[in-house]
Structure 1
Amino acid sequence: MSLCCILMNKEKVFITADTRESTTINGNIYRMNDMAEKIFSIDNKIIFISGYSSLSREAIEAFKLGTDHSIEKLQSILIEKGKLFEDTYPEHVDSFGVGYMDCTVIASLKKGNKYQNMLYNFNSTNHFEVLEYPITRNEGYVFATAGILGQEATSIANRVKDKLKPVEVFKAIYNKLSCEAVGGNFHMYEFDKVKGIISHNTYKIEDSKDLLNFEDYKQNEGHYILGNKLQIADDTGSFTIEGNLLTIKDQNKKTKVQLGEYTKGTYGLKLLSPMGDVVLDENGIVQVDSIQLADNVDSTHGLKLKFYVDDGMISIRKVMLNITLERFRAHSKGALSKIIDLNTTRSERIDLTTTLERSFASKSTLPENVSGNTETDGTYISGVGGHNHGVVENTRLAIWGTGNTVSGYVPWVPSGGHRHPISLNSHSHSFTVPAHSHDISMPEHAHSISMPSHSHDIDYGIYESSYATGVRISIDGVIRGGTYSSSENTVDITQWITTTGWHTIELTSTQLGRINASLYVKSFVGF
């Protein structure tokens, strides 16, 4: 049970809630503890929630953990939690008369350039229909309450709200009405229509009478503790037995373990994660798997990861792909070779002409004077030495006298070996080479090459080249997501993994590179 008090006008709102938690046994209210949190600040909204404490906390935790903090989302969570409660505990739906869960929200609504303070209320009695109240009071404050003791609180507030500061008004109300159901401390938030939450303070509530404490109520019969709810709690968590269900919560009031009838008609053990997901229940268990693979890639040779989703999969919670883009990497060494016989390709016949030369004139170098004797020697005719200039030996030769008369005859005799003196003056020779060219013809031919058997020494090392870039993701043959060029990318691919069996992810790069890929799969698998 709780008491929420509100002072509000169009500029500011002051809202409070106490921290006492209580229970009702046989028509009597018993104080349980003064540590209950009933008012929350979430995304610049002030939210008060009361009713069954465990149910209220589950609803507010679900709203807090989500990313959608709209009024509509809060309403849908309350409807969902309320239906589960009504199905599980129908006997408790009308036990309070004012509803088993009530929620009040203070928020600011922007209309154009103006802001409007708003109050919203949801209650199980009208199936959590949204009741919306614009706050329009210009001067002074309007007082409102939620929870129990509303009339009593309003009566006190109307007497003092125009005389005291807001915090003094709240002290007067809580100190006057403190009881087993209201007390402990009160948390006060100050809310501005433009700035939102501008302060949060806690004040002690003074109890004016002795209280009935739950720890004092111990009717023991043998080993039984009578009552409709047993709760053991401290700063580290709580242990609650209510109906057919045992619930264990941690220090943050988050449900961790449930044993018994955790859903109407369903008995068993349920374990929950820090995010509130079911890790284990009678239907199955959360299964986590991961794969890591690295390889060189390009546009036509991708890195492929194959993984299997079990046939007993009930739901796939998350599939995350992390890709790191790295340089192409190679490991090289020499290897023994065989003899290779090769012929060059056969050429066509080639006809060539040299380039044209210009004509040029020149002279030989001038020698020194030469002098000496010629000499004839050897047999020239019929073995006779010397030479006879072509006249037969003993031929009679006429001797001419005066008057052209023959005066006598002499016989021809060869002269035999003899010499002629020669004198050669210094001289040179001139010559001219005319312009000309040379024709060359190369017939068809080939060259034979023989490479003998040989080996290369090993060169140890890691050799790197270009980075992978422009990476595309193909899932089961369909391109998904965008193009990735950052050094590291994490992609949520849960929406594309929806069936059981084998799945293939292929990663390609627009250029030669290397990809290091890690795949994380979290699924809920049935037994």
Structure 2
Amino acid sequence: MSLNIVTIINNNIVTAADTAVSTEIKGEKYRVHNESKKIFHIDDMVVYLSGNADLSKIIIDEFIKCKDHSIENLKRIIVSWCDKFMEFPVIKVHYSKGKDFLIGSLVSKFENGLAVMYEISQEHNFEIRRMEISKNQTAVYAIGVNSEVASKYLDKLIYDGVPVLQAYQDTYNKLSSSEIGGQLELFIMDGKSIKKIPNYSIKEKDSLKWRREMPYRNTERFKHMMLDANITGSSLTLRDNGGVMKMFPLIGLWAGAENFADAPFSVDLQGSLIGRKAKFIGPKGDILIDTEAGYIDMDKLDIINVGKLVAEMLEVNTILADGGYVNNLTVNRLKTIGKDVEVGQYIDYIDIQDNFIKFITARVSTKTQAKDSRDRLLYWQNGEKRILTTENTGIIAYEYGFNDADIKEKRVLTFEESGDAATPVEYIGTGDNTGNGRVVNRKRNGGYKSEYKSSNYGFERSIDLNDDGISVRSDKGKFSAISKEFEFLAQEGSLKMGISGGSIFELTPTGAKMDIKGDLDIKATGTVTINGQTIKLN
């Protein structure tokens, strides 16, 4: 069952319903799925139908296919299928307790310019109840789970000035439960047209419990059972000292409860098996799977063709004789921490996530015993500290915490841009608070540049390798080259040395040129020899 709320305001009809489907097991409600459509635009009206999910789908499918979309015909179809549905002993006993609502329908439309609603429900023995709302009158009516609370709450929100669509969202968010949730489907009618509003995701409670099933997996089976079955009472019930086991050819086999849905063990006619506790034993008597203890002994099983594996701990002991490795390892994040340290000490590790590889040194701020996702304490299996276990071996596995200010990224490998434009970049050093004082290596298209900007001031010192040549730069800094021997040759070109805005010395294949700004002072401890075909002195 779900919730349908209809509001008549400003001569418009606003009608909405959620998409949740639930079930009850031993007095506790569970959500089954969120894919049940319960409100339909048919001709000049909007029809809400809900209750038993399979029965509702059978009824609305037949009504939509009919040429006769009258309220009377809708009632006839509802009554006909409900009578067939209640012919089954188990179903009749279940719904006769009055705990569950079998079926209910609320139709909204305009007649002669007035907003009208028709209700057909089990609660009123499927009689057609017509409600007409006068023009310029505001009214809120609800049917289904918490209908009285819902209508009062929505009416108050509208009275307080909350916009109608927001009021609907707030109401369904407040009343969300195992029976109300999923998507909010809403229609607005003005007597001339019917407008569908985009679905809104209802905010679910953290306490929501699930027992997932495929939507409408039993609908066709129930339909054929109601149309074709003509043998009743052909069943088997075994009892002994309070225990019970039943087999009904139209339902399945179950044990441990009077009703199929409440049984801790059951098998339906499609072969779907439910068991609260199970142990799967291998040919040698070993336990392969124990559902009560919650483990699978992978040492005695082989897994093949795994599409996706999600694990808290992954250990590869030996794959090949010459070493153990993981082939083609793909993870969302990988951290490498290889030693135990105390609070206040530093630890070096590598952090890999997304398109970053970070070499980090960090000071440990907290050190506590690690826990798994089920809050169980973790220990190392032995002194090698390779395999984690929840068994208390006395060798504690620790979890370290760091303050953001104490985490220093000493080296980072990443990409700038993406796709064909992606550029590999490497940052080395933590730098200063201006972003300078570290090395940046960047491999761009057509070149590679290694750059350092001086601390505080950001003066560039770089080597730039590109398709046209090599550029070396030391802004406002000294360039020093020390060598036992120094050889610098320019092939098929010129060699030029000079001072910006000052003297220049240039060698070319045809000669040499000196352009001296200022005095020229030549000193030698030996002979100075000048040879040339012509020597000109001016």
**TM-score (norm: length of structure 2):** 0.40
Name whichever structure is richer in strand by fraction.
1
User: Which protein is bigger by CA-based radius of gyration?
Assistant: 1
Relative contact order, CA 8 A, sep 6+: which one is greater? 1
**TM-score (norm: length of structure 1):** 0.41
